[in-house]
Amino acid sequence: MTDIKNSTPNEVAGKVALVTGAASGIGKAIALLLHTRGAKVIAEDINPEVEALARPGLVPLVADITQDGAAERAVALAVEQFGRLDILVNNAGIIINKLVIDMTREDWERIQAVNATAAFLHSREAVKAMMLNKSGSIVNIASYASYFAFPTIAAYTASKGALAQLTRTLALEVIGHGIRVNAVGVGDVVTNILNNVVDDGPAFLAQHGEAAPIGRAAQPEEIAEVVAFIASDRASFMVGAVVMADGGMTVTAG
């Protein structure tokens, strides 16, 4: 167990991490923070802009995480480049703004594929690699939408609820192998996830976040700080937790 009294900001030094949805927003902030704190990182995203993150010890991977074999290739790349895999952050997520009555099956399945199924597939492959070292940490990016109902984003809320339950169940299955699985339930974060829903997603989220008890939305770097801690050995007693980093939204009445 880590000597917490002697812990340093380089909490993930020497670790190897895989971060999905790393081209922008929360994923980009996580990939950069883990790298800054000493981890080697595979930054995976369907958006070629992820290639701009390339630097020694940080390898971009352009890939569609929903495709067969994507998870296997990402984990294999981590092992090939850096010899092992210690941390997986399932961050990638998308949203569609439609009433259930207007939603197509394709809409529903696309949301589940990115937000939940890809996390399952990457977790499954990551666990296989982590078992070889009898240690590892998986952090899923869930949402306060896992608990609240929001009209017009049923597919998104369902996918994040599934991710929270995947976190809890997988945690019980793999803790005996020294692998911890936890999640961060985020509130409104100033990112571009809503750009396909509104003209200016970051501005909308910044304004919407003012309803939180803290009075504002989060910046991606604030979520990255929580993820870095949970991913590290400093969080060695956390198993199956969904830690809310939502500015207090889930402790309000609605």
In eight-state DSSP terms, residue 14 is T
For residue 185, give both structure tokens: 């339930």
- Each residue of 36-51: b (16+ CB within 10 Å) or e? ebebbbbbbbbeeebe
Type of residue numbered 113: A
Name the active-site residue from 156, 181, 193, 212: 156
Helices (H), the chain: 25-36, 70-82, 105-112, 118-131, 154-174, 201-208, 220-231
Q: Are strands 40-45 and 16-20 parallel, antiparallel or unpaired?
A: parallel
Reference 75, options 13, 132, 32, 141; nearest CA is 132
Active site residue 156: yes
Find all residues with CB under 8 Å of 8, minimum gap 6, and list them. Answer: none
In eight-state DSSP terms, residue 178 is T
Q: Starting at the edge strand that comes first in sequence, how are the strands of the sheet with 242-245 ordered?
A: 58-62, 40-45, 16-20, 87-90, 136-143, 179-186, 242-245
- Residues classed as catalytic: 156
